[in-house]
Each structure stands twice: as structure tokens, then as C-alpha cells.
Amino acid sequence: MTLLVVGFSLPAYAQAPSGEAIYKRRCAACHERPADGRTPGIEAIRSMPSSRILRTLDFGAMMTIAYQLNRAERDEVARYLGKPGGDPAPRLEAFCSDRSVSLNTNASPIWNGWSPSPNNSRFSPAALSKLTADQVPKLKLKWAFGFDGDISAFSQPTVIGNQAFIGSAGGVVHALRADTGCLQWTFQAAGSIRSAIVATQVDSRTVLLFGDLTGWFYALDAATGKEIWRKRPEEHEAVRLSAPPVVVDGVAYIPASSWEESRALNPEYPCCTFRGSVTALRVRDGSVVWKTYTVPRAAERTGATSTGVATLGPSGVGIWSSPTLDLKRRRLYVTTGNNYSLPATPTSDAVMALDLDTGRIAWTKQLHPDDVYNSACSTDPKGAGCPPGSGPDYDFGSPAILVSTTGGRELLLAGQKSGIVWAIDPEKNGEIMWETRVAQGGINGGVQWGMAADGEQVYAATSDVVVIRTPTARQLDPRQGGGLTALKIADGSKAWHTPAPPCGTRPNCSPAQLAAVTAIPGVVFSGSQDGYLRAYSTRDGSILWGFDTVQEYKTVNGVKGSGGAIDGPGPVIVNGMVFVNSGYMRFGGAPGNVLLAFATD
């Protein structure tokens, strides 16, 4: 497999200098004379292919350093340091004896995209899950698949019958047999793939749709893995497509977020210009139907920092999660992120309703005003790059869930990093029906990536991860964070709360539960930062089953595999099997590179 890097235009201030100049300025001090036994020296780095180095900068061990570099700069460094050519192809023994792909997107069982239903409930009914509460304690590991060279596994499989598709931090899409994990084909994208993949029909062909973390959106032939087209819905250099699209009547609705708030860590960066958006593209050819921005106007110069660097705004309000579909009202609902720079807008930290056919904003319900924050605030809230009065960074990472109450009223349920779950009325322009606090909340707290709902209750796992900083180290607190709460949908009252089990003596462990949760009849599944996947009774929150994913695995594709923190997308449960990724390096989590499949037989 070779890494495909496609050029795109950058603003004048973002043009990349030579890779050699960037390396000498930002990297050489550590790698020319490594002193800690862990940092690779320059000769070791030069023995690597440039594609591997770029992946390490994009979403590997060096990502926290490389956040300050735009993608073109990272590419220049990788080209300067590495050998030409891509990573080796998968081993022949990893492939199925029959590599043909046969599927029908109208068939059952199917989990296609973020949720098996367009209301984003992450509920797998009995006919889809084919797994009962009585069977859950009998779950055992059936197979493990390793993502070669990766240290994070943060995508989510789409499963259609016995066919699975999943992306990787290395930017590889894998077509797999769901029952065995054997490979059928692979496709190399330009960047890391966090988004779940969505399959849809175009005439007689099944098309796979997904975005990557460098801003490219792809359409592939599901049968062969061949590219049909690719587009950049947004031209900003820091755009990232972290969420799966929603597809209706041949149109894909694509939300956009960005890395730009991390660019502010560079004191020379003029922050900020990105605007969140939803773009509607025709699946047939990628042409634009409409585009709607979440920030009402383009950024303009607003002043300068104390060091003389220009400040720009308004900006931010990215959309990190999949839109929620409401065909009855012909609307999409999206949850939004914070502003990156002043001035604040009324669209940040909000639930927004967009007309499905035109993109017109029907209404906006802001649930925390004046949340202006970027990554410079994490190092020095009073520093030059941090907006005055910054934070508290209570944006939404999880999508809204559209549900019907027993009385027939419909509600949108939204879990926020503030630690509050909101219920709002889509018929009354987002009027608040109830709100319930389930966690303390914070920058890395509250509800992070997704709740689940089964019609009677909504289930919210919470983070509240605590980082202990010392002059020489950054450790996770093993005693604080996590917990799973069930709320009654009708009124928001708490049905039960189960605290996170303790970490024990595992190094740098946190019980925080950041990953999205998934429900089946009688059971809700939640992964945690300590690497455990657990199943809870929806009746009383008691733990029915658990599996420690932090271990070494003999993988079906022969790649060295290990498990780590579970974060981001949650389990996929279909046809009697539970699929979950293990490994997440951000926020101090344990690395890992495996997709795990569980079954009762």
C-alpha cells in the first residue's frame, strides 16, 4: 500500500517551508541526541518509509507535538526524513480464499454508519443484534484484527450481513468477512479515518462513503475498493471529517470540524478562520447540492495578540458527530462545538435544525453561550493566544438522539461535555423540556462521544477524566472519572447510576468512560479508558459481563496486536457478534491497534 498525498492550496501564512527547515527548528533537538531511551535517533527515523513517519505525525506518538504544524508541513517533514515508497502490503495469509464482496444494503441484519437507525439512538433491536441479555455473559473473543503500524484504533465498523468495512488511523479502509476477519481488499486514503463508513446504493452498485482527518471525502466501489471520486467539502487546511455522513435519496450530508484550535499552540499562528459546516453532495458524482456554515460570516481581522500576531474571527463551531435525520419534518439536526476566537456566536455549543432540501437553518438552540476556547488556553489561559475570558470548552462531541415519548411527543436528547443531558422539543424550535446533570463536566469531562436510547431510557457514560500534572510527568488519576447513568426519557429523572469500577494498580490508568455506548434489549455496553468493555443491565445498572482488552493478541492477519484505551466510537452489535476497537493514545490513554470481535459460540 502506498500513501497518497494530494496537494491543495493554503493561505499565504500557511505555506510550508522546507522539511529540513521544519525538522531543524522543531525536531532536531530531541532526535539528534536522544537521551531518554525511547526517542528514536535520526538514523532510525531515516530507515522508515515517509508514509510511516507521516502517520506518526498525523495520529501517532508525535501527534501532540505535530498539532502545531499544518498537514503540508507534516508532509514536508516526512518526505525529508523518510524513504520513498509506502508501507508493505498485507500478508497473503491475511486474505480470504474467496475475496469477493457480496452484499445488499436493503438486507438484514445491517449496522450502517454511526447508528443502525437514522435517529442516532445506537440501539440494536433483537432482530438486528440477535443477542439476548441471557447470552451476554457467555461472550468470548472470536477473533482479533491488527492495524499494522498504528497506535490508535478509533473508527467503527459497518456490518452488512457477513460483510464488514472499517477504516484505520493509518488511513486504510479494510473490507473484511465479519465471521472470520479475513481480508478481501484494502484502500489507502490520504489521512487517518475516524469516521464510520456508510454504504448506499447507486443504481446497481454499492458505494462506500467516508471522510478522513485531512478533509477528503471519498466514494468507493464496495465490491472492489476502487475509488469512484473524492472531494474536499471544505478548503480550509485544518479541516477534519471526523463523523460519518447521513445519506438520503442519493444525497450525502457531510459535517465538518477542524484541527485549527490546536494550531493556536503555535504563538505565530493567526487564529482563527475555520467555520464549521454541513455540505450536501450528490452520491453519484460528488457535486454540491447546498452548503451551510455554522458561523454566520467569514473571519476578519479583529486585532492582534500581545506579541503582534493577528487575531481573526469569528471562527470554530465545528460539527464532530453524525447528523440526526428527521424525515417527518425534512430536517437534519446537528450538535456544534465551541468558538475558537472572538467574537462569540449564538451558534456554538448548540443544537441546530437544518432544512434537509435547502440547508436553511430553521432554528438554533444554544445550550452554553460565549464558549470561546482554543488549545493555547490549555497551556496558559492568560497567554497571548488564548481569547480573553476563555472557555469552558463545553462543546458537543456526541450527536442528538431523536426519540418519541410514551405520550407521543418527540424529543431531541443531547449529551454535553458540561455533564448535562438536555431534552429539547424539535416542534417548538428547541424549547428545553428537561435537563439533568450526570457528571461534573469539563474540557475532557461530561458526555464525550455518544449516548444510547431504547425508547424508555437514555444511557449516558461520562468521562470526567482527571489529569495529574507534575514538573516531570502527566498522569491520569486512577480514582476519579467514569460512571454510567440511565435517565427516564419522559422526564429526565435518574433510573440508576453505576460508578466506574476502580483501575487497581494498572499504570497510568483512568476509569473514565469517554467512548460512545451501545444498547440492545436489556443491556447497554460501555468501554472505558482503562481498556475494559463492560455490559450493564438496563434494569438496574448491574454489570453482567466484562472483558479487559489491554493485552497482546494473536491476530487473524498476522499483525502484532495489542489493546489499550477504548475511546471514540463504541461497540457495534449485529448478528450475534460484538465488534469494538481498542487503543487510543490521546489524553494519556494506552495505545492499541486491534479490532476485536466477540460471539457466544
pLDDT digits over 92-143, tens only? 999 999 999 988 767 777 999 999 999 999 999 999 999 999 999 999 999 9
Lowest mean pLDDT among 136-150, 270-284, 583-597: 583-597
Find how far residue 385's CA is from the centre of its chain.
26
| CATH class of the domain whose range is 196-242+244-398 | mainly beta
* Better-scored residue on pLDDT, 586 or 313: 313
Calculate mean pLDDT across residues 33-38.
56
Residue labelled with grid coordinates 446497481 = 204
Which grid cell is 206? 454499492
What is the C-alpha to C-alpha distance for residues 487 and 439, in angstroms, rounded to an integer?
Answer: 13
Facing residues of 498 across strands?
484
Does 423 have pLDDT greater than 90?
Answer: yes
Cβ-based neighbour number of residue 5 at 10 Å? 17
* Maximum average pLDDT range among 28-37, 354-363, 399-408: 354-363
- Which pLDDT score, from 0 to 100, does residue 71 have? 77
Q: How many residues are recorded in the chain?
A: 601
* Better-scored residue on pLDDT, 14 or 591: 591
- Which pLDDT score, from 0 to 100, does residue 505 have? 80
* Sheet of strand 401-404: strand arrangement: 401-404, 410-415, 420-425, 431-437
What's the Cα-to-Cα distance from 550 to each of 109, 165, 184, 341, rounded to whole Å? 30, 24, 27, 39
Compute the 3-state secondary structure of the chain and give helix, strand, coil in percent, each to the nearest 5.
10, 35, 55
Contact (Cβ atoms closer than 8 angstroms) between residue 457 and residue 540? no
Does 48 have pLDDT greater than 80?
Answer: no
What does the DSSP assignment read for 338-382?
A: -BSSSSP-TTSSEEEEEETTT--EEEEEESS---B--THHHH-TT
Lowest mean pLDDT among 136-140, 148-152, 495-499: 148-152
Confidence of residue 6 (pLDDT cuts 50, 70, 90): very low
Domain covering 94-183+400-601, topology:
Lipocalin (2.40.128)
| CATH class of the domain whose range is 12-81 | mainly alpha
Calculate mean pLDDT across residues 546-567.
97
CA atoms within 13 A on the CB side of 302: 18
- Which pLDDT score, from 0 to 100, does residue 29 have? 75
Calculate mean pLDDT across residues 507-515.
91
* Better-scored residue on pLDDT, 175 or 60: 175
* Residues near 245 by beta carbon (within 8 Å), at least 6 away in sequence: 113, 195, 198, 209, 210, 211, 217, 252, 253, 254, 255, 322, 323
Instruction: Give me the torsion for CA of 316, 321, 327, 331, rounded to 10°.
Output: -10
- Which pLDDT score, from 0 to 100, does residue 475 have? 82
| Number of separate helices (H) and strands (E) present in the chain | 9, 40
- Which pLDDT score, from 0 to 100, does residue 87 have? 75
Confidence of residue 410 (pLDDT cuts 50, 70, 90): very high
Does 62 have pLDDT greater than 80?
Answer: no
Task: State residue 30 phi and psi, 5-degree precision.
Answer: -90, -40
Contact (Cβ atoms closer than 8 angstroms) between residue 318 and residue 324? no
* Maximum average pLDDT range among 302-306, 472-476, 588-592: 302-306
Does 5 have pLDDT greater than 50?
Answer: no
* Better-scored residue on pLDDT, 595 or 32: 595
- Which pLDDT score, from 0 to 100, does residue 14 have? 47
Contact (Cβ atoms closer than 8 angstroms) between residue 405 and residue 426? no
Give percent above pLDDT 90 in the chain.
Answer: 74
Calculate mean pLDDT across residues 564-568.
95
* Residues near 471 by beta carbon (within 8 Å), at least 6 away in sequence: none
Characterize the bridge pairing of strands 420-425 and 431-437: antiparallel
Confidence of residue 79 (pLDDT cuts 50, 70, 90): confident
Does 529 have pLDDT greater than 80?
Answer: yes
Confidence of residue 11 (pLDDT cuts 50, 70, 90): very low
Lowest mean pLDDT among 8-12, 143-147, 304-308, 434-438: 8-12
* Better-scored residue on pLDDT, 267 or 359: 359
Contact (Cβ atoms closer than 8 angstroms) between residue 397 and residue 414? no
Confidence of residue 1 (pLDDT cuts 50, 70, 90): very low
* Better-scored residue on pLDDT, 406 or 89: 89
Contact (Cβ atoms closer than 8 angstroms) between residue 233 and residue 311? no
- Which pLDDT score, from 0 to 100, does residue 313 have? 97
351-382 pLDDT, tens digit each: 999 999 999 999 999 999 999 999 999 888 88
Q: Check if 94-183+400-601 and 196-242+244-398 are the same fold.
A: yes
What is the C-alpha to C-alpha distance for residues 178 and 102, in angstroms, rounded to an integer?
Answer: 12
Domain ranges of the chain: 12-81, 94-183+400-601, 196-242+244-398
Confidence of residue 4 (pLDDT cuts 50, 70, 90): very low
Confidence of residue 336 (pLDDT cuts 50, 70, 90): very high
What is the C-alpha to C-alpha distance for residues 238 and 69, in angstroms, rounded to an integer?
Answer: 10
Give percent above pLDDT 70 in the chain.
Answer: 94
Assess whether the previous peptide bond of 314 is cis (omega < 30° from 0). yes
Calculate mean pLDDT across residues 228-249.
96
Q: What is the overall mean pLDDT for the chain?
A: 91
- Which pLDDT score, from 0 to 100, does residue 211 have? 98
Contact (Cβ atoms closer than 8 angstroms) between residue 536 and residue 124? no
- Which pLDDT score, from 0 to 100, does residue 332 have? 98
